[in-house]
Structure 1
Amino acid sequence: MNILVLNSGSSSVKFQIIETDLGRIEKDRDKRLARGVMERIGSHSLITFETEGQPRYRTAKPVKSHREAVDMILRWIISPESKIESIRSLSDIHAVGHRVVHGGEDFTKSVKITPDVIRGIEDNIELAPLHNPANLKGIKAVTELLGEQVPQVAVFDTAFHSTMPATSYLYGLPYQLYRRYKIRRYGFHGTSHRYIAYRYRQQLNETRENVNIISMHLGNGASVCAIHHGESIDTSMGFTPLEGLVMGTRAGDMDPSILEFLYHKEGFTFAEMDNLLNKRSGLLGISGLTHDMRELLEEEEENQDRRATLAIDMFCKRVRKYIGSYFVEMEGNVEAIVFTGGIGENAALVRERICNGLEAIGLKFDKK
């Protein structure tokens, strides 16, 4: 069967076409047929489509809405230009999977989308006001364009972390605020951390219950997760993706009283402080140069830029801090630390700098 996977963001839609069946799933041999992204929806959109083994198709044109974007994606998929041999019409798309950012406490696993599920996603909009509405636009567009007979599934970023104990997910705030407003740690990147755990046990031929690892999704957004007996017991992101590590443009952990201080000193509004913490901080804010780790490493090597080095070192130290914390939380029962994400997979020097200094927990970095 052919599955369309959609990630509908606030101003973008990413997609993949996956060919799979029960046999492929059992052997982890799903086949990606095509992928693409439409950016800057609502203005002059940048479009990149690619079929496996074929040259990329790139163009730019005005795209007004998510529905128009999904319609354009579907038209390309079934067109001769895509060269996807197994898909000739919309009827050859058998199901659709949607990434949904926030499931709150309502959704602890992936679910088939029904009117009740849509209402549940809507109920969690206040927890993800930028993301859940965009996710719903993708669901609505698919329903209108493919019909209600095509099954759709919601996969929630927060679901994997629903196994965290209250000691991990509650904040030290008055308990009635949790009961009234569900203010708690939810965690994100759950689909990534879940897949890391799955691939780890598959590679080592282990059962789910024997997976005890610290997983690190390190990219422009970054998080760490303690996985004990195959379940998330703690993670660095919190009520929002702002908490935790120093990220590309996010500040990560900090003293909340700094916000009051800045209000009196700079007169920042709440919107301006939110923008400061989410868009102007992290690697970008520290270095004053860029949010891109690749560019910071180049600046450090070529120009010995002091602030580039500072940003990289702060990033690595914060990751080490969480590794150490989770090592203790898991009582030393950690079989591996696993890297993924753009930085985690591709920046060997960053992996080395993170691991250096972890000898105390029995980890010695091998450059070979």
Structure 2
Amino acid sequence: MSYRILAINPGSTSTKIALYEEETKIFEKSLSHTAKELEAFDEVLDQFEFREKVILSVLKEENIEVSSLSAVVGRGGMLPNMKSGGYLVTKEMIDAFREGLASPHASNLGALLAYEIAEPLGIPAYIYDSVTSDELEEIAKVTGMPGIRRESMCHVLNMKAVSRKVAEKYGKKYEDMNILAAHLGGGISMSVHHQGKIIDCIRDDEGPFSPERSGSIPMLYVVDLCYSGKYTKKEMVKRIRGNGGLKAYLGTQDLRDVEAMVADENKQAQILFEAQAYQIAKGIGEMAPVLGGRFDCIILTGGMAYSKSLIEKISERVQFIAPIEVVPGEDEMEALSFGALRLVKGQEEARIYARP
């Protein structure tokens, strides 16, 4: 019996879907959503029906019978109390999302969309390697403010997927390697992989600035802004995540646009491009002591890893730590599909979500 897996990956301005039969991709499509389409919805979860209709419309156009599916897998969302690997999407999990237990993020739609398609068919719906998957060691969770603990929040899905591929290249098992991975996308996060677990990470709001994130900034200035009366909580969150970083300075979150500005000798773009590479390198350096600098490699992945200039600037600062492996782009659709395939085949056991 061959298994057909439908993967759904909701992003802030797009919905990616892919169909795999075993490990063979049948089709993949990225559906862009305009600002005008999305501004009609107050909250992310309000987009559910809109995105479901778009997905079903594409499946119809591709002549894909949903009755042929073996499972549906969605991108994992921002629920607390998650571990890495796969989860069966249950009514209890759906309720947790709808009750606002998860931080607002487009990825929260993954479980809802997968469940809505799978449940009438009597097939399982899964999520895999959620953003909030937590394998951090206790020492990594301590902060200097009682009552606040560091939580794992990084690009788990892509970083684990590319780490498995790099381990294969080295002729080793992922579980036998020490890897420092940096996901360079709209948000930037970093993680230390030891014996198959992410034991520490830098979140997208506590490290380098990125194309649309402000990254780590002096906290007392943030306190002043929060109490200035100029911004609502929602507006402040948007300044940190969505309208920060390169976008705040240059009006674009596309690194290709920034590189074009650099080529045109735009002074502000030049210093920001240098600072982007500089801060990414500093973030990697911050992670290096976690395993005493004993890493098999440093992986640079995500959309920005396509920039040879950026990679060169980062590499010249951090190559003394470990060899650099560049894996540009994101293999998230394959990672979701292959993860679900292991679950339906019984090679991995699906977890059941429990509220904290």
With the length of structure 2 as denominator, give the TM-score of the two structures. Answer: 0.79
Equivalent positions of 1:281-320 (< 5 A) are: 281-286=244-249, 288-301=250-263, 303-320=264-281
User: Which residue of 2 is the match for residue 232 of structure 1?
Assistant: 198
Higher RCO (CA-CA < 8 Å; seq separation 6+)? 2
Tell me, in whole angstroms, the C-alpha distance in 1 between the residues paired with 2:62 and 2:50: 19
- Conserved? CA contact 1:42–1:64, under 8 Å: no
2:138 aligns with one of 139, 153, 166: 166
Superposed displacement of residue 364, structure 1: 9.0
Tell me, in whole angstroms, the C-alpha distance in 2 between the residues paired with 1:292 and 1:42: 16
- Conserved? CA contact 2:75–2:107, under 8 Å: no
- Supply the AA of the counterpart residue of 1:267: K
Instruction: Note closer, same or farther for the CA distance 1:70–1:359 as it changes in structure 2 (3 Å cut).
Output: closer
Superposed displacement of residue 120, structure 1: 4.6
Tell me, in whole angstroms, the C-alpha distance in 2 between the residues paired with 1:364 and 1:38: 33
Are positions 1:195 and 2:161 aligned together?
yes
Superposed displacement of residue 347, structure 1: 0.8
2:92 aligns with one of 101, 116, 123: 116
- Conserved? CA contact 1:296–1:312, under 8 Å: yes
Are positions 1:7 and 2:9 aligned together?
yes
Superposed displacement of residue 106, structure 1: 3.9
1:31 aligns with one of 18, 24, 30: 24
Tell me, in whole angstroms, the C-alpha distance in 2 between the residues paired with 1:332 and 1:279: 33
- Conserved? CA contact 1:246–1:318, under 8 Å: yes
- Conserved? CA contact 2:114–2:126, under 8 Å: no
Tell me, in whole angstroms, the C-alpha distance in 1 between the residues paired with 2:98 and 2:37: 29
With the length of structure 1 as denominator, give the TM-score of the two structures. Answer: 0.76
- Supply the AA of the counterpart residue of 1:324: G
Equivalent positions of 1:260-339 (< 5 A) are: 260-263=223-226, 267-286=230-249, 288-301=250-263, 303-339=264-300
User: Which residue of 1 is the match for residue 57 of structure 2?
Assistant: 72
- Supply the AA of the counterpart residue of 1:40: H
Counterpart secondary structure, 2:292: coil
User: Which residue of 1 is the match for residue 176 of structure 2?
Assistant: 210
- Supply the AA of the counterpart residue of 2:72: V
Counterpart secondary structure, 1:129: coil
Are positions 1:349 and 2:309 aligned together?
yes
Identical aligned pairs, as a percentage?
Answer: 19
Q: Gapped runs of 5+ residues in structure 1?
A: 21-29, 46-62, 79-86
User: Which residue of 2 is the match for residue 59 of structure 1?
Assistant: none
Tell me, in whole angstroms, the C-alpha distance in 2 between the residues paired with 1:193 and 1:360: 21
Q: Deviations over 1:186-219 (max 9, x none)?
A: 2121001111221111111212332111111112
Q: Gapped runs of 5+ residues in structure 2?
A: 39-47, 326-356
User: Which residue of 2 is the match for residue 104 of structure 1?
Assistant: 80
Q: How many pairs align?
A: 314
- Conserved? CA contact 1:249–1:281, under 8 Å: yes
Counterpart secondary structure, 2:183: strand
Instruction: Note closer, same or farther for the CA distance 1:296–1:64 as it changes in structure 2 (3 Å cut).
Output: same
User: Which residue of 1 is the match for residue 124 of structure 2?
Assistant: 151
Instruction: Note closer, same or farther for the CA distance 1:364–1:250 as it changes in structure 2 (3 Å cut).
Output: closer
Q: Deviations over 1:202-243 (max 9, x none)?
A: 111212332111111112222111112232121111xxx433
